Amino acid sequence: MTIVKRRTFMKGAGAAAGLTLAAPFISRSYAQGSSGSVNIFAWAGYLNDEMLSAFENATGVKANFTPYGTNDELLNQLRANNGAGFDIIWPTVDRVPNYVEFGLVQPIDESKVDIEKCLPSAWNNSANLGAVIDGKRYQVPTDWGTEALTFDKQQAPLEYGTASYGDIWKPEMEGKATVRAHSGLVGLGLWLQGEGKLPLPMVDAFKSEENMTKVYDVILQEAIARKANIVQFWNNENEAQGAFRVNGCAIGQTWDSTAASLAKEGLPIGFIAPKEGALAWMEGVAIPSGAENIEQAYAFINWFLTPEAGAMYTNATSINSTAVGAEELISDEAKAFFAAAYPGDALEKLWWWPIQESWFVAKRNEYQDRFLSA
């Protein structure tokens, strides 16, 4: 995979803006946030001591990091706190409308953000994926990644072009697979769509409850019939890794970071985009409505968009940074992982998560629970 391809990865999602060279390591908000602290509520594993120390050295601001494991955990915590308790949160872009609906985040003051340091494709396309509501931006895109096929190279070898979400559900994988229940249903749906077995395209299920019922009734029936394949369901990173490390899984639908972490341990684990398209997500940072350290929050945002910070993040997580120039600084190990995961036309075939409105999330959870309890 070439650098040009990685820089234009969101072309298929509607991005058309050009790219610029990395800007100097200077932020107009550093002086404003040169003291104090910032309270960050982010995904477990996204920030480590090296990054927190580098941020403090660059800005003079001390970062307090609290981890969470799921989007629902983040949303529920913010709702319980009425938008208070943290200065930075890290929602997936398709879920941002949920936070706006409940008044949990505040609009981003774009004059305080070093926009030129963010990949134009990420900045522009995030507006269509949920970051901008009624003309106001509520999130700064910081990273993107995928959920696709993690596999044991010895027990279940896969190759790009033939690898499919259907490989998880085939008879020979009985008792050897892992999925996250709600997203596993989407992957199964994309396979069924490719087989001509869905009444509507998978993406149409996100448009109305009527559409969703038509599509998900078919998916759920198929999932229950093949449930014996699933030896373990996962909800967070630790559980996904444990499925392979402890419970003997040979194949699964997991995040890219899951496979990368297992491979770093020396396990024979690979990660590849299926022919139906890897489930692609974008994330970013938002400022809660009850945030107390506003200038320090913007200092963190602008620091995270530097190429140095972006590279530290990618090297630690194997998740792609949106910082211009970060990919020039990432490790050879990270570059090799991306090349193996997204060969050929994989980046052009990414399946971007549509906006998940509250009605969809509620109904999605109903189908998830029916699958789990079947």
Q: Which two tokens stand for residue 99?
A: 């936070």
Instruction: Report the C-alpha gap between 9 and 126 in whole angstroms.
Output: 13
- Any idea how long the chain is? 374
CA-to-CA dists, residue 195 to 187, 188, 336, angstroms:
13, 11, 32
H runs (alpha helix) in the chain: 3-7, 49-59, 71-80, 96-101, 120-126, 166-169, 181-194, 209-225, 237-245, 256-264, 294-304, 307-317, 332-341, 358-373
* pLDDT one-digit tens code per residue, 221-272: 999 999 999 999 999 999 999 999 999 999 999 999 999 999 999 999 999 9
Report phi then psi at 107, rounded to 5.
-60, 145
Q: In angstroms, rounded to a whole number, what is the distance separating the alpha carbons of residues 5 and 8?
A: 5
116 in Cβ contact with 20 (< 8 Å): yes
Fold held by 146-279+354-373: D-Maltodextrin-Binding Protein; domain 2 (3.40.190)
Distance (Å, rounded) from C-alpha 79 to C-alpha 268? 41
- What are the beta bridge partners of residue 255? 147
Distances (CA, A) of 78 to 64, 129, 133, 134: 17, 21, 19, 22
Predicted confidence at residue 24, as pLDDT, reads 34
Identify the DSSP state of 55. H
Average pLDDT, the chain: 91
Tally Cβ neighbours within 10 Å of residue 300: 24
Enclosing H/E stretch for 324: none
The predicted pLDDT at position 59 comes to 96
pLDDT of residue 34: 62
Alpha-carbon gap, residue 290 to 292, rounded angstroms: 6
**H helices within 25-180, ranges in order?**
49-59, 71-80, 96-101, 120-126, 166-169
Per-residue exposure over 331-368, b if at least 16 CB sit within 10 Å of its own CB, e if not: eeebeebbeebbeeebbebbbbbbbbbeebbeebeebb
From residue 372, alpha-carbon distances to 42, 194, 247, 368 in Å are 27, 24, 18, 6
The SS3 call for residue 260 is: helix
Ranges for all domains in the chain classified under CATH 3.40.190.10: 19-139+286-343, 146-279+354-373
Residues 247/54, Cβ–Cβ less than 8 Å:
no
Q: What is the pLDDT of residues 140-186, one digit of tens each?
A: 999 999 999 999 999 999 999 999 999 999 999 999 999 999 999 99
Q: What is the dihedral of CA 360, 361, 367, 369, to 10 degrees?
A: -160
CATH assignment of 19-139+286-343? 3.40.190.10
Taking a C-beta distance cutoff of 8 angstroms, is the pair 349, 13 a contact? no
Contact 355, 130 (CB under 8 A): yes
Residues of the chain short of pLDDT 50, as ranges, are 1-31
**Among 142, 148, 64, residue whose Cα is nearest residue 96:** 142
Per-residue model confidence (pLDDT) at position 35: 78
